[in-house]
Amino acid sequence: MDGKNILVTGGTGSFGGQIVRELQRYCPASIHILSRDEKKQYDMQLEYADCPNLRFVIGDVRDFERLREAFRGIDLVYHAAALKQVPNCEDSPFEAVLTNIVGAENVRRAALDAGVSAVVSISTDKAVKPVNVMGMSKALQERAMLSRPVMNRQTKFVCVRYGNVLGSRGSVVPLFRKQVFAGQPLTITHPEMTRFLLTLHQAVELVFWATVYGEDGDLWVRKMPAARITDLARVLARGLTGKEDYPQINTGTRPGEKLHEVLVSEEEMWRAKEHDGHFLIPAWFKLEGMDGPTSGAAAEYTSNSTELLSDDELEGLLESDGWFEIKSIHSRYKLVA
């Protein structure tokens, strides 16, 4: 990435902001931050006022012509723009189609037109055996990005897939912090629900790994632990208040919500390769002539079958990511006495 011109779609989001911070240590020639949110771009310009290699581009991945213009001279694209809130996508499914599917195809076509060297696209565990609109749209985004290559193209397309990011907007940890700071009980949708967990830094590490090791058509998945949401809520509340029995209430699962998530399906496991704590799932076009699954194929990789984090491990993860700090980088709220 040294000396490269890099563009991040959705560059003012949670992941976008983190990857822009971490890209700086690789000395790229320029980092172009494309998003449709003028206010977030202004805030980011103030935060990075001393970084002369940043360029801010107002644009939407739904607009193909804007992407064609923005991708000129770009070497590497990180595609992070998405509608990712499950309830919002359930309420407005075609908006999810326009951003997550049409937008991804626009990115793919614009990258090919501009001769971009590589595109790394961000996906989610909800794309595996999807039961909600967001997951379905991200599953199709994966397929669009990793479809059979255009003849003689220069661009490689790689996807990464991961679970719940602790610091992302709309995730459960910021919600729990807000509820604790307001003196409210923590809302749990189901007492047995589990989720894969990682920090924003770990998500960026996976993306950088895929940038270096990924080949055209690859989908990379990082092996990661999971936790019961009730345990996560209890440990977070204890770290903020000192109370072991902070109140929780069960609210019932939301439309489109799974009890457990799947990172690698049973169908994918038979063709997956393990590589230094990662799964590499090659695209179908790279497997022509390969034998199909057998009765001894590996079971799917789910949030209730992987390692579940202990209380001490959850505490260490939350503390390392700054969630126990009253004036956290993640929140503007103040703790209620």
The residues carrying an active-site annotation are 126
207/147 Cα distance (integer angstroms): 20
CA of 265: how far to CAs of 31, 49, 206, in Å?
A: 35, 44, 19
Q: Which helix (H) or strand (E) element contains residue 9? A: strand 5-9
3-state DSSP assignment of residue 243 = coil
CA–CA gap between residue 201 and residue 262 (Å, rounded): 21
- List, in sequence order, the alpha helices (H) in the chain: 14-23, 38-47, 64-70, 86-91, 93-96, 103-114, 133-145, 172-181, 200-213, 229-241, 266-269, 311-320
| Spatial separation of the C-alpha atoms in residues 141 and 106, rounded to whole Å | 11
Tokens representing residue 302 in the block: 């789910």
Angstrom distance (rounded) from CA 241 to CA 243 = 5
**Long-range Cβ pairs for the range 87-91 (8 Å, 24+):** 87/254, 87/255, 87/256, 89/132, 89/133, 89/134, 89/137, 89/256, 90/132, 90/133, 90/134, 90/255, 90/256
SS3 category, 304: coil
Structure tokens at 7: 């563009």
Q: Backbone phi, then psi, for 165, in 5-degree steps?
A: -95, 125
